[in-house]
Copies of this chain bind each other. A is one copy, B any other.
């Protein structure tokens, strides 16, 4: 085993990811994965997944919206939203109400329990976020969000 044939060694040296780490996308992904992992655990205590959580919050904030509007806002394909709405409805968190002026569409409304669960989720997620952003000042977070928004805009105009 010479130093000229390192490929055949068992590679006790630590594995590096410097090539990937040079990229913004990789670094943002790593932070996002950590957040997502912790958030998934927090939401699990409320029997919510990321999709049911964000769907419920959007219905609470925009009562009466249609499924098509919601799938646009959440960037979920309409067929995939159906089963999420089904789940929230069967749990008594939201209602589907036929619209009078267009009987093809449903107005989505939160129930009292839906509103309560949404509030509990928001509280829990605030605590989760406070933990993950501990030691980071409001100014730094504002700067972070400013840059993230600019990246998002750069991507949107592509």
Contacts and interface: CB of A to CB of B under 8 A. Distances in A.
Interface of A: 6-11, 15-20, 23-39, 54, 57-58, 60-66, 69-70, 72-73, 75, 97, 99-102, 105, 107, 109, 118, 122, 125-126, 129, 131-136, 140-141, 143-145, 147-152, 154-156, 158
A75 to B, nearest CB: 8
A60 B107 contact: no
B61 A16 contact: yes
Given A8-B64, A35-B151, 4 more contacts: A10-B99, A24-B141, A26-B54, A31-B152
A96 to B, nearest CB: 12
Given A24-B35, A28-B35, A100-B8, A61 B18 contact: yes
Contact of A10 (B57, B101, B150): B101
Contact of A152 (B30, B150, B152): B30
A20 B57 contact: yes
The residue among A18, A30, A60, A105 with the most chain B CB atoms within 10 A of its own CB is A30
A135 B158 contact: no
Contacts of A75: 33
A140 B147 contact: yes
A94 to B, nearest CB: 11
A34 B63 CA distance: 28
A65 B145 contact: no
Contacts of A125: 23, 25
